[in-house]
C-alpha cells in the first residue's frame, strides 16, 4: 500500500511511503480507496491531531509521523468477513492512502461500523460507513467535498438555534470564504424571521466572493474588525487565527456572548493559551451535537436533516465551487501544501482519484 505521512511537528511536511500489505485476519476487509477530497478541514484534522485525537484513527507505527483522515469512497477488494463482499462500495472516513483494512460490523440498513479495536474509543460518527452504489466522478467528488463540510455548517446552525443564539443580535462567521463558513452563512440566512444578523468575516481578496455567495447580511474584512457593530454577538471561528481573534475579542469585549472555535486552518497563527477579553472560546465538536439530537429526536432524524440540508446547498454548488480533480497520491503533496499554507483558492474544491 501507499500512504501519505505528515510530520506531526510541522504539518506542512509530507512524504509518500510504500509499505507491504499485511494479510487479513479473520473478520477483516481490505478496501481500495477510489476517491477523496482535500480541504482546509483536513488541515484542521492535522492541527488538532493530538488535542482532538485525529492521529489515532490510522496509526502509522512511526514516531512523529501521522496519517490525516479524509472523506471519500472506497471499494472492497479482499475480505474474510461475512459483512462485506468484494466489489461493495462505501462512503466514509479514510486514511490519506490507497488502501485501508477494517473490521466491519453490520449496523443495519446501509450502515457498516469499523469495529477495529484501536477505534473503539474514538467518536462513533467517524467509524460509521455507508454502503453506496458507484456514481460518476463529479457526483462522488462533490459528495466527498461537501457532505462533511456542509454537515458541520448545518450542525453549527442547529446548535446556535438550540442555544437561542446565546441571546445575541449578530453571528460573526470567521473565515466566511471557507466552505464550512460559507455553508453556515447560507443556513443562517435561510432561517425564518431572520432571528440574527449574519456577518461574514473574510480577507479583502475574498470579500466580493463572500458577498455574492454567502447570503450574509454584511461582509467585513479583517482589516476592518474594529468597525464591527458593538452589539451582543457570537463569534464562530473557522480558522484559528490568533490575531483576528484577539482583535475581535478586544473590540467586542463584554458584548461577546459566545466564542466558538471550529477550525484551525490558520494553524500557524493559533495560540492555545491566548489571553482574551470577554468570554473564553469553546471548541465546537460536531459529533456531540449529533449525539444530542439522536437522544432527543431518535435514531436517524438528525442524519436525515443533515442530508437534506447539505444536498440543498450542494444543488447550486457550481455557482460557488470549482471542482479540481487530481490523479494519484503523488498529486497530494502540492494540493495539501497549498491548503496548509493558506495559498489555496477559496472557490476550488480538490478531489483526488486513485
Handedness of CA 311, 313, 318, 321 (dihedral sign): negative
Q: What size, in residues, is the chain?
A: 354
Which helix (H) or strand (E) segment holds residue 221: the answer is strand 218-221
CB atoms near residue 322 (< 10 Å) = 12
Taking each helix axis from N to C end, the angle separating 137-162 and 179-189, rounded to the nearest 10 degrees, works out to 60
Set out the domains of the chain in order of their start, with CATH numbers. 2-134+321-353 (3.90.180.10), 147-288 (3.40.50.720)
Q: Please calculate the CA angle 116-70-110 and round it to the nearest 5 degrees.
A: 60
Closest by CA to 265, choosing from 211, 205, 321, 343, is 343
Per-residue pLDDT of the chain (354 residues; tens, 9 = 90+): 999 999 999 999 999 999 999 999 999 999 999 999 999 889 989 988 998 899 999 999 999 999 999 999 999 999 999 999 999 999 999 999 999 999 999 999 999 999 999 999 999 999 999 999 999 999 999 999 999 999 999 999 999 999 999 999 999 999 999 999 999 999 999 999 999 999 999 999 999 999 999 999 999 999 999 999 999 999 999 877 889 999 999 999 999 999 998 865 444 444 556 789 889 999 898 889 999 999 999 988 999 999 999 999 999 898 999 999 999 999 999 999 999 888 888 899 999 999
The overall pTM is greater than 0.75: yes
DSSP alpha helices (H): ranges in 163-280? 179-189, 207-213, 242-252
Q: Cα(first)–Cα(last) distance of the chain, in Å?
A: 12
Q: Is the Cβ–Cβ distance between 332 and 38 less than 8 Å?
A: yes
Amino acid at each position: 500500500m501507499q500512504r501519505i505521512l505528515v510530520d506531526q511537528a510541522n504539518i506542512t511536511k509530507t512524504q509518500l511511503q510504500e509499505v507491504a500489505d499485511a494479510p487479513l485476519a479473520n473478520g477483516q476487509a481490505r478496501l481500495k480507496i477510489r476517491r477523496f477530497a482535500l480541504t482546509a478541514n483536513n488541515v484542521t484534522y492535522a492541527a488538532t491531531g493530538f488535542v482532538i485525537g485525529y492521529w489515532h484513527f490510522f496509526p502509522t507505527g512511526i514516531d512523529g509521523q501521522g496519517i490525516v483522515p479524509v472523506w471519500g469512497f472506497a471499494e472492497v477488494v479482499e475480505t474474510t468477513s461475512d459483512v462485506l463482499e468484494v466489489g461493495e462500495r462505501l462512503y466514509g472516513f479514510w486514511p490519506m492512502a490507497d488502501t485501508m483494512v477494517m473490521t466491519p460490523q453490520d449496523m443495519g440498513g446501509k450502515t457498516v461500523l469499523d469495529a477495529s479495536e484501536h477505534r473503539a474509543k474514538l467518536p462513533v460518527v467517524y467509524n460509521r460507513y455507508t454502503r453506496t452504489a458507484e456514481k460518476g466522478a463529479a457526483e462522488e467528488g462533490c459528495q466527498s467535498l461537501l457532505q462533511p463540510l456542509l454537515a458541520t455548517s448545518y450542525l453549527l446552525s442547529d446548535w446556535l438555534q438550540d442555544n437561542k443564539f446565546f441571546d445575541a443580535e449578530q453571528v460573526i462567521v470567521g473565515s466566511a470564504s471557507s466552505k464550512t463558513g460559507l455553508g453556515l452563512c447560507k443556513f443562517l440566512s435561510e432561517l425564518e424571521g431572520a432571528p440574527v444578523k449574519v456577518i461574514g468575516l473574510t480577507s479583502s481578496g475574498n470579500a466580493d466572493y463572500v458577498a455574492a455567495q454567502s447570503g450574509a447580511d454584511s461582509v467585513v474584512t479583517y482589516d476592518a474588525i474594529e468597525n464591527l457593530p458593538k452589539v451582543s454577538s457570537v463569534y464562530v471561528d473557522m480558522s484559528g487565527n490568533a490575531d483576528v481573534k484577539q482583535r475581535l475579542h478586544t473590540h467586542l469585549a463584554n458584548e461577546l456572548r459566545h466564542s466558538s472555535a471550529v477550525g484551525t486552518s490558520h494553524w500557524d497563527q493559533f495560540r492555545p493559551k491566548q489571553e482574551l477579553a470577554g468570554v473564553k472560546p469553546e471548541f465546537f465538536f460536531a459529533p456531540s451535537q449529533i449525539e444530542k439530537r439522536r437522544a432527543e429526536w431518535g435514531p436517524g432524524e438528525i442524519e436525515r436533516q443533515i442530508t437534506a440540508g447539505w444536498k440543498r446547498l450542494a444543488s447550486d454548488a457550481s455557482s460557488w465551487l470549482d471542482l479540481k480533480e487530481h490523479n494519484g497520491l503523488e498529486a497530494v503533496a502540492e494540493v495539501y501544501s497549498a491548503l496548509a499554507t493558506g495559498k489555496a483558492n477559496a472557490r476550488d474544491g480538490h478531489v483526488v482519484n486513485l
